[in-house]
A and B are shown apart, each in its own frame.
Chain A
Amino acid sequence: MTRLLQRLLGRLPIGWLQLTHNRTRLAAALAGVAFANILIFVQLGFLGALLDSIALPYRAMDADILVSASDANTLEDGSPLPRQRLFQALATPGVAGATAVYFSRLDWKQPDGTIRVLDVFGIDPASRAFASPAINRQLDRLKISDTALIDRATRNVPTGLFPAIDAGNPYTFEVNNRTITVVGTFDIGGGFTADGYLVVSDQTFLRLFPRRASGAPNLVFVRADRGVPVAEVVERLRARLPAADTAVRTIAAATASDQRFQTTQRPIGIVFGFGIGIGVLVGIIIVYQVLSSDVADHLREYATFKAIGYRRGFFLGIVFEEAMVLAVLGFIPGLLIALVLYQAIAAATGLPIAMPLSRPAGVLLGTLLMCAASGMVATRRLERADPADLF
């Protein structure tokens, strides 16, 4: 390692030798950097899972354009839309198809008394609202009243429930004074607010939620004609639908706006952002502590080197070398532990938590910058090394 660094630096790797000389301090410093890295990875993991879980239902839609209420920030909030918007959309040139979708949330009481929260889509079983082949194959079964399809990724359900349903044993439960029969499954994946998704027909939906009026869906999924740019269809729809109650966006734009809202306006997103900030702060403070006490411990040696004729850049080089060594060596255990924690979190919560390749690269870069910043502050102490004091 010493030889490798000597090659790399073109000089004696004094920072490396200094760090490895005091093993206890090195271990403490690496633990600190690793801890900061783990903290950041876990927060990024949650943030990534939040973004992913928000995008999941949008990705499942068989649509190019989403029409929603102008006051809607997410799928679940916002006023109902006049059903007329569906017909206006269908009458717009460039629109290949459109379907109205009802959306609400229900509490699914388990036999043990606990509650699972399900997001419910009420769709017209005569049209394709979702791209999922599993849903589309089973649309006919939804035409029977009070039947439903359930998301296989729903959290905390009795084991064996979904295989039993798929094997042809419908599962029934009571909700809102109605008996719902779950006749099939599909895959979307749970999020932070709900445990899973339920798909029912619009008729079943209106019986489940008697306060909802049949003329007022939440969303209209619109498919553009092939050959017509989606952006152009969006423009046409905007011109035709009143902006006072209706927002028209591409699916991608709607997803992004939902993600932006939930990460910046909801406490959950802010908490994760804050956690990342704390991780960075912890890392900077630990590395600064280690580097500045290391500089303080070696002031005499540095003053000697100054007397011998070394310039300021030489000492900055040593401190930055130490910062980079701490960053890289602390990052490795940090990443490995974070990967283990990701597995544990995914198993415990069912959240879509994963490590995209860009994340370790970004965190390593951030760690290098963080350590460099700490090193920069720590070098201020170098000024105290005055060779005239040595005599």
Chain B
Amino acid sequence: MDMTLAADIPPATVEPSIAVSRLNHWFGAGDAAKQALFDIDLAVSPGELVILMGASGSGKTTLLTLIGCLREVQDGSVRLLGRELRGASPEQLVASRRRLGFIFQAHNLHNSLTALQNVRLGLDVHPGVPEKARDAACAHVLGLLGLGARLSYLPANLSGGQRQRVAIARALVGNPEIIVADEPTAALDKESGYDVVALLRRLARERGTTILMVTHDNRILDLADRILTMQDGRIVSDRRVAGA
């Protein structure tokens, strides 16, 4: 079996952004309970771009929602930026989520809001930015993503690739330490899919942002630092991408 254990990776000098150990997860209760994750161990260093692959039903989405603080940890441990998620209250989970950036399969932009207003919503959960600086900060991030001329466009008037870039801007604008992405290229053609992820990687590099991305898209694998493969609720391979 082509399997490299997480222990083979040189020990990180700093604390990992994401540290998962002995994680099990079940759906349902009692006799009907079905185990979705088995004994997951995973460490992701700051700034890494890790791609999570696997057939549907392999548990990768479940793992992503647990790391994304969208489900309660039942057994084992998930440490996110040094904070243990197991036993965290819903209120603490919300606080942890605010330190993440989310990118979804569909762009999930609000149709009634312009590109700029959608990005504003990504920024407005964070207190502390002065009101006057907010629109400028959002416009700046949209500009980095090549949408400087589309600030007041509604999603309906943007192309698929542009919408996904607005969604990326919404995830980036709060300067998250970790970005959690679920098939961000699923709705895009080959070219724009690659471009969007390449752009995401470049911006993440500049900021030292960790990215955990679930994808089926083979075309973007060469952008990853590490590729994890899951099968039946277990991580079955963990390999570094040469030259990344």
Contact = CB atoms under 8 A, between A and B. Distances in A.
A14 B112 contact: yes
B81 to A, nearest CB: 14
Contact of A391 (B61, B94, B95, B117): B61
B113 A388 contact: no
A308 B112 contact: no
23 contacts: A12-B120, A12-B121, A12-B124, A17-B112, A20-B112, A21-B111, A21-B112, A300-B106, A301-B111, A304-B102, A304-B104, A307-B97, A307-B102, A308-B98, A308-B122, A309-B94, A309-B97, A309-B125, A310-B125, A388-B70, A391-B68, A391-B70, A391-B105
Smallest CB-CB A-B distances: 4 pairs: A21-B112, A309-B98, A304-B108, A388-B70
B110 interface: yes
Interface in A291-320: 298, 300-301, 304-305, 307-311
Given A12-B120, A308-B125, A309-B94, A387 B110 contact: no
B182 interface: yes
Interface in B141-168: none
Contacts of A310: 125
Nearest to A310: B125
B236 interface: no
A83 B109 CA distance: 85
Majority-rule SS of A interface residues: helix
A387 B71 CA distance: 9
A137 interface: no
Given A308-B121, A388-B71, 14 more contacts: A12-B117, A12-B121, A14-B110, A14-B113, A17-B117, A301-B110, A307-B102, A308-B122, A310-B125, A387-B70, A390-B104, A391-B65, A391-B68, A391-B182
Nearest to A303: B108
Nearest to A18: B112
A266 interface: no
Interface of B: 61, 64-65, 68, 70-71, 94-95, 97-98, 102, 104-106, 108-113, 117, 120-122, 124-125, 170, 182, 214
Contacts of B113: 12, 14, 17
Contact of B64 (A11, A17, A391): A391
Nearest to B114: A17
Contacts of A304: 102, 104, 108, 110
Nearest to A309: B98
A308 B102 contact: yes
Contacts of A305: 121
B108 A300 contact: yes
Contacts of B214: 391
A14 B124 CA distance: 12
Contacts of A311: 94
A22 B64 CA distance: 35
Interface in A5-24: 11-12, 14, 17-18, 20-22
